[in-house]
Amino acid sequence: MSIHKDCYSTIGIVWAVGLILAGLLLFFLPVLVITIPLCILIFAVMLFILFFFRVPQRNVVEGENVVTSVADGKVVVIDKVYEPEYFKGECLQVSVYMNFFNVHANFWPISGEVTYYKYHPGKYMLAFLPKASELNEHSSVGIRSAYGDVFFKQLAGTFARRIVTDAVPGEKEVKGELCGIIKFGSRIDMYLPLNTDIKVSLNQKVKACETVIAELRK
């Protein structure tokens, strides 16, 4: 396990504030029965921040047509929808909601060439709400594999204010490698061709790289 490089500054700020608070408590409130529990709580938060921004090692499911989950979480949407940005037509949507305790690092769902990237500023509604897909801050990424295109959105949630996306149009990417991170609560919307075989069900818990979301057909 490692820590995502784009989270070092956030971790540094939290740890600096935590150490300052602990120092002030010990200096101005030398009542150990109160100070020690408060300091333990502060250090617990500091350790949780390290845990929160972790990047675990994963065993990637092989297969050129196999689409794996971009993120850890729970499947909250499986539906046929009209997607106006990339497919510009009907396709299948699978959405994964990440809670506060899920890994928030994101991974490429399939190998191929990045064909599209766009950042959209927006609101910070609760990520599980249907309208969040359109109105919340998000990044849109399209990738073309040998079996077809996969389009996904990294959606900010109520507490997320920064989305990191490592997507450059024209570059080749490999399934299972890091493609970014969403800080704090968030959601991933994945869009797939209509003839795709969906392999997950609603409310199923999924893991990035290891859970098969779908299989593409030529």
**CB proximity list for 203: less than 8 A, separation 6 or greater:** 74, 75, 76
CATH of 66-215, one of 1.10.12, 2.70.70, 3.40.50, 2.60.40: 2.70.70
pLDDT tens, 86-117? 999 999 999 999 887 888 889 999 999 999 99
Q: Running DSSP on this structure, what letter comes out for residue 209? A: T
- At 193 the pLDDT is 97
pLDDT band at 189 (very low <50, low <70, confident <90, very high): very high
Q: Which two tokens stand for residue 125?
A: 């509604």
The residue extents of the domains of the chain are 2-55, 66-215
Residue percentage of the chain with pLDDT more than 70: 88
Q: Which two tokens stand for residue 112?
A: 């191929």
- At 131 the pLDDT is 53
Which residues are known to be catalytic? 186
pLDDT tens, 45-61? 888 888 777 788 899 99
Q: What is the pTM of this model?
A: 0.82
pLDDT tens, 109-157? 999 999 999 998 765 555 455 555 565 678 999 999 999 999 999 987 6
| Residue of 121, 120, 130, 105 whose CA lies nearest to 54 | 105
With H, G, I as helix, E, B as strand and everything else as coil, classify residue 170: coil
Higher-confidence residue of 47 and 67: namely: 67
